[in-house]
Amino acid sequence: MSALYLGVDAGNSKTAALVCDVAGTIAGAGRSGCGDIYGAAGPEAAVAEVLAAIDAALAQAGASRADIVGAAFRLAGVDWPEDRAYWENALAGRYPSRSILNDGYAAIRCGEPSGVGIAVAAGTAAAIAARGPDGALWDMGWWGQHAMGALGLASEAFRAVNLAELGLGRETALTAALPAHYGLSSVAELNHWFTRREGAATHPQKAGCARVVTATAAAGDPVAVEIVRAQGRHLATYAGVAARRTGLTSAGGAVGVVLTGSVLMADASPVAEAMLAELPAHVPGAVPHRSALPPVAGAALDALGEGGVPLTGAVLDRLMGTLPPKAFFET
């Protein structure tokens, strides 16, 4: 078997792995559950999920670990040095040639093949990461002080309807829309379900109302509009931090900003619109790219690039043309 490269993108909703050859052709794909050492039942459980996704990809490719000459692990929860050290120990005997970074970095090459730029991902939560022209790295991790992504939209909407119910906030169409989305009859029932001690709504269930919030904003509800605008403002603000911390703005040239994640990639996303309106004030020279590739493909490109493979247009086209079906990436 020819030399193969491995890209892994591990998050809370799923873990995905791709195996490709030096030409960019994907030979195998696998997916499993939560690969975040902070979000799984325990760090060992996260490792098991990551390895399960890899084993599935290798099995589909008819390959073994020995065939992997380079691997890029982009893992949610690699936020502190001890997190990276944990994964280094867990993977050392299995994949000796590897790089391990936060999952936020996975998307950079999806829009910037050079790997230099900023990735802004807003899915269930948000991840922002940047690589500067001299290789400097910065990712938001636990520095983010605002709830962002679908959970951010949900939490702010939940706050708004509770305040309105108590007469402490503005009336909003979300008061009817949120309970209706969950098949509930009132804000009181929604509050109980979101906060009760037993049988409370899970994070994915809470995040599920994000599309209701953006649809209500699109319909003109002032409270929902402000929630959406605040989301865009927060994402742009942290992208600015990433740019400054990695030296991307000091040269005064163009700065690639890759947008990814379900909240930003939704058709006519008002959050993306709000972010793009704010972005120039925080990232001078920003050139936005909507990612045409899933983050795990960016991880595979990282593995190729770090292995010295030129990421030509032909390699990118081959990778895109051999991706698994869209359903593989859905959560």
Spans of all domains in the chain: 4-113+292-329
The answer as to CATH 3.30.420.40 being correct for domain 4-113+292-329 is yes
% of residues, the chain, pLDDT over 90: 89
Which residues are registered as beta bridge partners of 6?
Answer: 19, 71
pLDDT value for 1:
61
Token couple for 165: 């119910």
Q: pLDDT category, 13, cuts 50, 70, 90?
A: confident
- From residue 70, alpha-carbon distances to 133, 309, 315 in Å are 23, 11, 16
Report yes or no: 107 and 139 within 8 Å, Cβ to Cβ. Answer: no
Which pTM value belongs to this model? 0.92
- Tens digit of each residue's pLDDT (9 = 90 or more) over 268-315: 999 999 999 999 999 999 999 998 899 999 999 999 999 999 999 999
pLDDT value for 203:
85
- From residue 2, alpha-carbon distances to 27, 31, 224, 317 in Å are 11, 23, 53, 20
- Tens digit of each residue's pLDDT (9 = 90 or more) over 59-95: 999 999 999 999 999 999 999 999 999 999 999 888 8
Region for residue 8 given its phi and psi (left: phi exceeds 0; alpha: psi -120 to 50; beta: otherwise): beta
- From residue 307, alpha-carbon distances to 4, 98, 120, 157, 269 in Å are 11, 9, 25, 45, 36
Q: Which residue has the tokens 């804000």?
A: 187
Q: Sheet of 15-21: strands edge to edge?
A: 26-32, 15-21, 4-10, 68-75, 98-102
